[in-house]
Amino acid sequence: MKKIFLSIALLSNMMFTACEDMLDVEQKATSSTANFYKTDADAESALTAMYATYIGEIGATEGIWNAYIMGLNYSADDVFAAGGNIDDHADFRRLNEFRYDPSYAPISTLYNHIYKAIYSANLIIHYFGETADTPVKKQAVAEAKVMRAWAHMLAAQVYYQPPLIDHLITDEKPVNAESQKAIFDWCVKECEEALSDLPERKGKNDQEGAWVVTQGFARFVAGKSALFAGDNAKVISVMKPLVESQNYDLVPGERFRDLFHVEGDGCEEKIFEFNYVTNTAAAGGTEGWRGGNNRGRWMVANVLNWRGDDIKGGGTSPLICSTGGWGGGSINHEFAHKMLANDGDSYRRKATFLTSDEFFYDEKLCGWKSDATCTTRADKEFDENRGITNTYGSFSRSDVMEVKMMMHPNDADLSAGDNCNNTNLCIARLGEAYLIYAEACLSSQPDEAKKYINKIQQRAGSATVSATVDLEVLQNEKQYELWFEGCRWFDIVRWGIAKQCYDKVLDNVPYQTDEYWTSGGSKPHKLVYDIRHPYAEANITLKFVEGKNEYWPLPQNIIEINDQIHQVRGWAN
């Protein structure tokens, strides 16, 4: 994975060609295919290029946002797009509000990225799949099959009946998949077939074993795909060796926070992640989006950090902040209060969001520059150099402050800029694997389900450790554990509760104020909020349409160039 710099400039440029047919991309190479796909060295080189493509397509930025990170999480019911107001960052906030159609840019952007990544895997499978006669070549094909399966699994979670591209496209046109289940079942089969040619991770301290495809990741993709296919027995059989493996472990509770920051890169809980290593020279330096920092989520840090305009002293006055922010990705207040009641003063809760008291007064969890002179609680309570100064109300923010996906100072790669988050992008971790496995066990092996749910709760340091478990306990625990990790949208659709979840939150927007600033300095710093309905006031109706909004539509530009693909479900009309 350290060798992936050779093609990143090309990949960065390709990212922005959203209207191109991404299934018909001319191969770029220094030698013909007839001469290249021959040796073990060729297989390793092709595999390196495939990983570079996945990092560039899935993990890189679109200027100020990322289609994978924002698209998946902004479509959940427990996240507010936030920002400055209802018009701020409209390109991706409309995902949060169901104000999109098939022509909407983020929908086609993620689709294009997924299928360009699949193309890079298909190159390896096509040219080595039938002739792999050495362990190196066989392993390269197996890794490509798992990555291709992961991308198809993602496509089927986001879109309904997207194409299943199981070979290198030449002249034919892709068609809609037979069904969602057909895609997920195929993903399971691909991963199971790849297992025998894949290595195991070499123990809990094997960092590089989290940066390439291993048997563990193959089992994760197969198990998650089987869950979405409704095959609990397959989930259990394929994932049991993973959850019992000695090559992985949950990090202890005091390190839960590290899972989302550079300190946790390649740790014992990571099953697979995109390994970011900034190479500014490869893409022409560090200037803006033309620089090599695309792979470090440049400016996504600004989106997800707190709203600097609303904070006294700007975005870096709280010491937890690495750079000034725009306040996106805010945590839903109702979910936060529910988690606080469940978790209490847990490691997990404090790594997910801070209470008002922690935000203003806890120097370890937040800290302010003025702490150097404000040495007592009384000093801090009436400190004019901290707090939320927006007395009208900070949009989509409440009496808590999310911290889970904020870019902390250690995350910054200063060679590319103070807003370039160099934390690896986690695709699979053991905490999620435990919950997938536990859900599959609920009906047939309840004691086994309880065992793994309790492991999650105990590691979290939660105030609640369940004596009995059922689907509701599992659903809640998964939300607490995996907030803003790209799971919630897919889960509430799969559980059939999407409409009731979205109906509770649409146009019920919190506006946050600080009592110190609203009282003119007569009250101590304290976060409060009130609920408003800004969309109704602007004559904008937000509505989740059942049978339609569970999935994104297939991109209009793809349908226009391919008459064999059509819209399905509620998008067909």
- CA separation for the pair 271, 422 (Å, rounded): 18
- CA separation for the pair 306, 130 (Å, rounded): 52
Residue with structure tokens 């998949």?
Answer: 177
Nearest to 439 by CA among 383, 490, 514: 490
- Say how far residue 53 (Cα) sits from the centre of its chain: 17
**Residue 72: how many CA atoms within 13 Å on its side-chain side?**
22
- CA separation for the pair 172, 156 (Å, rounded): 21
Q: Map residue 570 onto helix, strand or coil.
A: helix
By CB atoms closer than 10 A (0-12, 13-18, 19+), residue 372 is exposed
Tell me, what DSSP letter sits at residue 412?
B
- CA separation for the pair 323, 258 (Å, rounded): 19
Q: How far apart are the first and last CA of the chain?
A: 45
Q: What is the pTM of this model?
A: 0.91
- CA separation for the pair 241, 424 (Å, rounded): 25
Q: What local confidence, expressed as pLDDT, does residue 289 receive?
A: 34
Q: What local confidence, expressed as pLDDT, does residue 383 receive?
A: 96
Residue with structure tokens 């920092």?
Answer: 293
Q: What local confidence, expressed as pLDDT, does residue 130 receive?
A: 84
Q: What local confidence, expressed as pLDDT, does residue 19 receive?
A: 35
By CB atoms closer than 10 A (0-12, 13-18, 19+), residue 226 is buried
Q: What local confidence, expressed as pLDDT, does residue 31 receive?
A: 60
Helix H or strand E segment including 145: helix 135-158
Structure tokens at 281: 């020279």
- CA separation for the pair 382, 525 (Å, rounded): 7
- CA separation for the pair 518, 526 (Å, rounded): 10
Q: What local confidence, expressed as pLDDT, does residue 91 receive?
A: 82
Q: Map residue 334 onto helix, strand or coil.
A: helix
Q: How far is CA 51 from CA 110, 225, 294, 396, 399, in A?
A: 17, 21, 15, 37, 41
- CA separation for the pair 102, 555 (Å, rounded): 5
Domain-wise residue ranges, the chain: 1-198+543-573, 306-406+507-537
The CATH-assigned architecture of domain 1-198+543-573 is: Alpha Horseshoe (1.25)
Tally of residues, the chain: 573
Other CB atoms within 10 Å distance of the CB of residue 179: 13
Q: What is the pLDDT along the chain (573 residues), one digit of tens a residue?
A: 333 333 333 333 333 333 334 334 444 445 667 778 889 999 999 999 999 999 989 988 877 889 999 999 999 999 999 999 999 888 888 999 999 999 999 999 999 999 999 999 999 999 998 889 999 999 999 999 999 999 999 999 999 999 999 999 888 999 999 999 999 999 999 999 999 999 999 999 999 999 999 999 999 999 999 999 999 999 999 999 999 999 999 999 999 999 999 999 999 999 999 998 655 454 433 333 333 344 567 788 899 999 999 999 876 789 999 888 999 999 999 999 999 999 999 999 999 999 999 999 999 999 999 999 998 999 999 999 999 999 999 999 999 999 999 999 999 877 777 888 889 999 999 999 999 999 999 999 999 999 999 999 999 999 999 999 999 999 999 999 999 999 999 999 999 999 999 999 999 999 999 999 999 999 999 999 999 999 999 999 999 999 999 999 999 999 999 999 999 999 997
- CA separation for the pair 145, 327 (Å, rounded): 38
Other CB atoms within 10 Å distance of the CB of residue 345: 12
- 31 and 39 Cβ atoms separated by less than 8 Å: no
